[in-house]
């Protein structure tokens, strides 16, 4: 695989940024250069020489998607735009690599396997589920289901380090259980799938390791970050959001089975190892 055969969509997001670093010779665009919600722009784009379309674009504001405008935007980017990409991949014999989410499930079945039926709770989850359905119409497709993505951008680890830096001992949700997915791990998975002869289809794609709650992860962040005096108080998702308007329902169980990914020969990294490295870089 040659970098110049790769096209990254949504190149300025957390994953898009990591993909550009991995494939410096790739072509890329964010919404300013190519708005994937515009069917004509996508079909009229010059795709010559491209073999792999990596879709890192998404509407990721989970609560924002519950508003009237957000609902439209979420469906446009997470579903209709994916159909535009799937169509162009079919027409030009390109591989579509698309990123999905644990939010396509209600979180009651644990761990999630790739063939679990959809059961999204929120508008974001519904739009992502629709995106999975249309991405699968590209004959050559990989759909990767990530959870709790951490990379370059606004994310949970940065928010907690910021609170710690200001000496705040937070109350954090303790009943959502899952694992972090570092963009470095997601990029390793993407590179592995594209360069091995892994079968097309859907794969869960998170870091491995002991599943944990957001509160547990915060304790780990404070320990690794050198804030031993700060405490973390557990709360429930229901208590945390009580009385707040416009909050999207969240799945409580976000543990993804990594068995299918392992069958392709991929060796996952423990989220705690990647968290250690991430915090070291943040504090350098
Ligand atoms: N973040 C998580 O915790 C999480 C968890 C599970 C799965 N995922 C999935 O993982 C993938 C990557 O997430 P991320 O955290 O890297 O997202 P992100 O940081 O929000 O990046 C998404 C990017 O897509 C761009 N974009 C939005 N609309 C577009 C359009 N119409 N055309 C082209 N680009 C557009 C955004 O640009 P603007 O910023 O200008 O809007 C942004 O640069 C997504 O598919 C997401 O659903 C994320």
Q: Among the options 103, 124, 142, 240, which is catalytic?
A: 124
**Separation CA 281–CA 278 (nearest Å):** 5
- Best mutation site among 107, 135, 149 for ligand 1 pocket (most ligand atoms within 8 Å of CB): 149
Q: How many helices (H) and strands (E) does the chain have?
A: 11, 12
Domain boundaries, the chain: 3-155+180-208+255-269
Per-residue pLDDT reduced to its tens digit, 145-173: 999 999 999 999 999 999 999 999 999 99
Task: Locate the ligand 1 atom nearest the alpha carbon of residue 15 and give its number.
Answer: 16
* 227-265 residue pLDDT tens: 999 999 999 999 999 999 999 999 999 999 999 999 999
- Give me the DSSP letters along 129-177: HHHHHHHTTSSSEEEEEE-SEESSSS-HHHHHHHHHHTT---EEE-S-E
Contact 136, 79 (CB under 8 A): no
For residue 110, report the distance from its CA to the centre of ligand 1, in Å: 26
Nearest residue (by CA) to ligand 1, atom 40, is: 31
Distances (CA, A) of 69 to 59, 65, 100, 140, 164: 12, 8, 22, 33, 34
Question: How much is the pTM?
Answer: 0.96
- Is the distance from the beta carbon of residue 15 to the nearest atom of ligand 1 less than 6 Å? yes
Distance of CA 184 to the CA centre of its chain: 12
Instruction: Give the whole-angstrom CA distance, residue 212 versus residue 174.
Output: 9
Closest C-alpha residue for ligand 1 atom 1: 149
Task: Tell me the CATH number of domain 3-155+180-208+255-269, given options 3.40.50.150, 2.102.10.10, 3.40.50.720, 3.30.1490.190.
Answer: 3.40.50.720
Quote the pLDDT of residue 197.
82
Token digits for 238? 């229901």
> How confident is the chain (284 residues) per 10-residue block, as mean pLDDT?
96 96 95 92 96 97 97 98 98 98 98 98 98 98 98 96 97 98 98 96 98 98 97 96 94 98 98 98 95
| DSSP annotation of 27 | E
Which two three-digit tokens encode residue 76? Answer: 């446009």
Q: Going by CA atoms, what residue is nearest to atom 18 of ligand 1?
A: 13
Look at ligand 1, atom 8, and give the residue with the nearest C-alpha: 101
Q: CA–CA separation, 150 vs 137, rounded Å?
A: 29
99 pocket-lining for ligand 1 (C-beta < 6 Å): yes
Q: Are 269 and 186 in contact (CB under 8 A)?
A: no
- C-alpha 265/C-alpha 282 separation (Å) is 31
Selection from 62, 73, 63, 56 nearest residue 17 by Cα: 56
Q: How far is the CA of 167 from the centre of ligand 1 (A)?
A: 31
In the residue annotation, 124 being an active-site residue is answered as: yes
Closest C-alpha among 48, 54, 47, 101 to residue 74: 101
* SS3 assignment, position 271: helix
């Amino acid at each position: 695989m040659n970098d110049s055969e790769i096209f990254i969509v949504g190149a300025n997001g957390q994953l898009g940024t990591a993909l550009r670093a991995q494939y410096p010779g790739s072509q890329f665009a964010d919404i300013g250069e190519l708005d994937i919600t515009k069917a004509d722009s996508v079909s009229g784009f010059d795709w010559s020489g491209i073999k792999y379309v990596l879709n890192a674009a998404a509407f990721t504001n989970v609560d924002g998607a519950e508003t009237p405008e957000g609902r439209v935007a979420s469906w446009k980017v997470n579903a209709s735009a994916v159909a535009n990409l799937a169509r162009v991949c079919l027409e030009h014999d390109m591989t579509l690599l698309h990123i999905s989410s644990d939010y396509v499930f209600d979180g009651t079945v644990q761990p999630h396997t790739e063939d679990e039926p959809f059961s999204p709770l929120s508008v974001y989850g519904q739009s992502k589920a629709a995106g999975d359905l249309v991405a699968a119409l590209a004959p050559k497709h990989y759909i990767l289901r990530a959870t709790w993505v951490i990379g370059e951008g606004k994310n949970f680890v940065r928010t907690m380090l910021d609170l710690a830096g200001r000496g705040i001992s937070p109350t954090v949700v303790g009943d959502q259980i899952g694992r972090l997915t570092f963009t470095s791990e997601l990029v390793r998975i993407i590179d592995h799938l594209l360069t091995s002869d892994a079968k097309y289809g859907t794969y869960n794609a998170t870091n491995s390791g002991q599943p944990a709650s957001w509160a547990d992860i915060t304790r780990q962040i404070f320990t690794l970050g050198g804030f031993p005096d700060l405490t973390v108080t557990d709360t429930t998702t229901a208590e945390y959001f009580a009385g707040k308007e416009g909050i999207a329902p969240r799945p409580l169980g976000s543990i993804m089975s990594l068995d299918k990914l392992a069958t392709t020969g991929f060796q996952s990294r423990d989220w705690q190892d990647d968290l250690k490295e991430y915090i070291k870089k943040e504090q350098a």
